[in-house]
Amino acid sequence: MDTLEASLSRKGERTRQTLLDAAEKLFAEKGFYGVTVRAIAREADADPALVAYYFGGKRELFDAVLLRRAERLNQIRLDRLEQCERDAGPDGPSVEDIIEAFTEPLLDRSENGGPGWKSYFALIGQVTNSPEWGEAMMSKYFDPIVRRFMESIRRALPDAPEEELFWSYHFLSGALVLTFAETGRIDALSGGMCKSTDLSAVHKRLPLFVAAGFRRLAKDRSDSGSIENSKAAE
Look at residue 4 in the predicted model and tell me its pLDDT: 45
Alpha helices by DSSP H, listed for the chain, are 3-30, 37-44, 49-54, 58-88, 95-112, 115-128, 134-156, 162-181, 185-189, 199-224, 227-233
Look at residue 228 in the predicted model and tell me its pLDDT: 52
Look at residue 102 in the predicted model and tell me its pLDDT: 94
**pLDDT by residue for the chain (234 residues), tens digit each?**
566 455 546 777 899 999 999 999 999 999 999 999 999 999 999 999 999 999 999 999 999 999 899 999 999 999 999 999 999 988 899 999 999 999 999 999 999 999 999 999 998 888 887 777 767 777 788 889 999 999 999 999 999 999 999 999 999 999 998 998 898 999 999 999 999 999 999 999 999 999 999 999 998 765 655 455 545 545
Look at residue 89 in the predicted model and tell me its pLDDT: 82
Look at residue 223 in the predicted model and tell me its pLDDT: 60
Parse the chain into domains and list their residue ranges: 1-56, 67-233
- CATH architecture of the domain formed by 1-56: Orthogonal Bundle (1.10)
DSSP structure string for 58-94: HHHHHHHHHHHHHHHHHHHHHHHHHHHHHHHGGG---
Classified by CATH at the fold level, domain 67-233 comes out as Tetracycline Repressor; domain 2 (1.10.357)
Rounded Cα gap, residues 169 and 145, in angstroms: 13
| Of 165, 169, 155, 159, residue with least CA distance to 84 | 155
Rounded Cα gap, residues 203 and 212, in angstroms: 15
